[in-house]
Amino acid sequence: MTDEGPKGAIRSLRDLPQGIEPSRDLWPQIEAQIAGRAGLEAEASAPAAPARRARLPGRWLAAAAMVGCLAVGVWIGRSVLPGAAPKAPPAAVTSGAADGALQAAWVSDPRYQREHAALMRSLGAQLAALPPASRTKVLASLETIHEAQQQIEAQLGKDPGNALLQELLVNTYQDEMRVLTDVREASNAGRGI
Amino acid sequence: MQRTYRWLAASLALLASAAVLADAPGTFEKEVPAEAKGVVEISSTSGTIEVTAWDKAAVGVKAELGSEVDHVEVTSSGNHTSVHVQLHAHGIGFNWGRDETHLHVQVPKDSELDVSGVSAEVTTTGVQGAQRLHSVSGDITAETGPSDFEAKSVSGNLKVRGHGQPARLRLHSVSGNIELKHAAGELDTSTVSGEITAELDPARTFHARSTSGDITFEGRLQRNADVDVQSVNGDLKVRAASEDGFQYELQSLSGDISDCFNIKPERSSEYGPGHKLEGTRGAGSAHVRLKTMSGDLELCDH
Amino acid sequence: MKAAQVESSRIDWEGALVERARAGDARAFERLYREHAGRVYGLCLRMTRQPHLAEDCTQETFINAWRALAQFETRSAFSTWLHRIAVNVTLARRRRSARDEPLPEVEVEEEAIERDWTLETPIEVEEIENAIGALPEGARDALVLHALYGYSHSEAAQMLGLAEGTCKAQLHRARKLLRERLNVEVG
């Protein structure tokens, strides 16, 4: 962060270092503000969330159900859409996280709900458009993600405030959306060609 | 008698159309002028798509066509050239013994390349411009230049080689393995169950995710570089070096954490499971974060 | 890699980070923060002369930048855009807590305005920083933006919400006061 400014005497004001390092890392508070705002904005526009995620009966090809959302503001950015889980928040989560570094915000995101439901409704037809080998692998991958979510949720049940698990859980929702979106793109590619 | 003639006429018509279609399975060759830094878009369903760079201001197409191919469309307009392999809308059931199409396209080396295949294997060599390579189930093997590069596959493997020129790279496969060698710059990569192996020298960012696949990264980190690797169950192994040092943070709920710096991990919390390892090497300019639920973590010097 | 290529490459990276941050990638924004925080803090500190206030201004700058990313035009430099925000934040804080100081009546020698701010003899960094810190706010603001951060008269004037002539007058005043304080000629 700091320029390699000269020490000692200088001959010009332009030789003064432009960068000066603050005495502490300011990022955690910035991060908390921008994450908190992202969560509040989503929450402000969200309809009331179902109390618990309606889980498909173990199989992705079953009829789509409305899925609620889980959002941890810091990790939303890299997904196609923000991911948020519709669970009731574990008691410890909404208390202030240590060091102001991570704030887990459990919100419902209507865009995620709509997009996820749409992808699930068309998943069967899209999978049918894929080569058989790909279809099998996609189903296996979705099952891998589903199992990972169950494992993480089981651990979160024992340790609800665990930031690592929360982050990894959000990742799995994002990964699921990425897979569903890739399947949609892939099936469109097949039809287009 | 009339019925016989009608039958004969129909048969002759069928044979005539078959004769026309008999041209489709076979070879195809065409060359069109193209701008040196134009966009080249290629699509084919199955078989292979091989793209090589050349110094001519033209796009050259050679193909061995499968039986399902209706025609190959090569068009050039302005700075945009398209090569599309069109299949029959309804197959007529004739099998000429060649079901796959092998497409070889030569493009100006600074072209911007957009390749799309379903089960086609995609290969690119020598292209210096931006590349966007998508295949549903085919493998993608490519060389990158100093330009943006994206390769995506649903179930295919990705094997990419750089030449040490910094670029922005995105490699994603749902279930395939991902391998990147001799690259530099920024890499964003993910797979659900495949394995990721990557080298970046120098590395500006390395962001990798998997659900169950292992991730291995070796890199020489630039100042302020950012390495963020996460997996639910996969093992994560990072070998990093940086002249300006790096800060590191390793967290695993139930996996083992090891490093080459003789620092022991500590419990993440007094009452809950999990271990973490945090520290700083050198001036701590870059950041390295490894996180997993059950995978093992290893961090060493490069 | 040659300097021009390095600079071009750096701007490309930054453009990529800005795009990702615009899409909501907080990690990418953190990278931008780490790249620019020192200069932003340095600017805020020199304008406010209070480390705690400068930290607040720096945080507010980045928070405002995050919210306004959609308005950033990628053709211009991200650092310039950040500095504009930082100056606005600092001036707004100052307006909330203090009266405006009257602008100086100074005769501006047009031909003498373009300076390289060299010192007749070398001076310790700390002494110079203290001398800059002791300048009246208006003169200090103009000096920091023009002499330290390299903004042109018109850019500095725009950032400070001043007419260019007024900004030049403040610079002239800054030079005169520094000369008196440091007891050396300031070129």
Taking only the tens place, the pLDDT of each residue in A73-124 is 323 233 333 333 333 333 333 333 332 223 233 335 677 777 787 888 788 8
Is residue C50 within 8 angstroms of chain B, CB to CB?
Answer: no
> Which positions 216-245 of B are in contact with C (Cβ < 8 Å)?
224, 226, 228
Q: How many whole angstroms separate alpha carbon B107 and alpha carbon B76?
A: 12
Domain covering C3-97: architecture? Orthogonal Bundle (1.10)
pLDDT for res A111: 74
- Joined together, the tokens standing for residue B107 give 């493009």
Domain ranges of chain C: 3-97, 110-182
- Judged against a pLDDT cut of 70, whether residue B90 lies above it is answered with no
Residues of A with CB under 8 A from a CB of B: 78, 130-131, 133-134, 137-138, 140-141, 144-145, 148, 151-152, 155, 158-159, 162, 164-165, 167-168, 171-172, 175, 178-179, 182-183, 185-186, 189-190, 192-193
CB contact under 8 A, C27 and B186: no
Q: Pick the closest to residue B250 from B297, B295, B198 (CA basis).
A: B297
Contacts of B230 (CB under 8 A, 6+ apart): A167, A168, A171, B208, B209, B289, B290, B291, B292
Is residue A18 within 8 angstroms of chain C, CB to CB?
Answer: yes
CB contact under 8 A, C9 and B228: no
Q: How many whole angstroms separate alpha carbon A18 and alpha carbon A9?
A: 16
Please tell me chain C's helix, strand, coil percentages from 3-state DSSP, rounded to the nearest 5.
70, 5, 25
Taking only the tens place, the pLDDT of each residue in B148-183 is 999 999 889 999 999 899 999 999 999 999 999 999
| Residues from chain B contacting residue C12 (CB–CB below 8 Å) | 168
B262-285 mean pLDDT: 81
B267-285 mean pLDDT: 81
Cis peptide leading into residue B202 (ω within 30°): yes
List of chains touching B (3+ CB pairs within 8 A): A, C
Domain ranges of chain A: 21-192
**C184 to chain B, minimum CA–CA distance in Å?**
38
Domain C110-182, CATH number (from 1.20.1530.20, 1.10.8.100, 1.10.10.10, 1.10.8.190): 1.10.10.10
Taking only the tens place, the pLDDT of each residue in B26-47 is 889 999 999 999 999 999 988 8
Q: How many whole angstroms separate alpha carbon A120 and alpha carbon A180?
A: 8
pLDDT for res B142: 97
Taking only the tens place, the pLDDT of each residue in C115-167 is 778 888 888 888 899 999 999 999 999 999 999 999 999 999 999 988 888 89
Is residue A4 within 8 angstroms of chain C, CB to CB?
Answer: no
Domain ranges of chain B: 24-122, 139-302
Rounded to an integer, what is the distance from CA B193 to the centroid of its chain? Answer: 16
Taking only the tens place, the pLDDT of each residue in A32-80 is 888 765 555 544 444 444 333 334 334 444 433 333 233 333 232 333 3
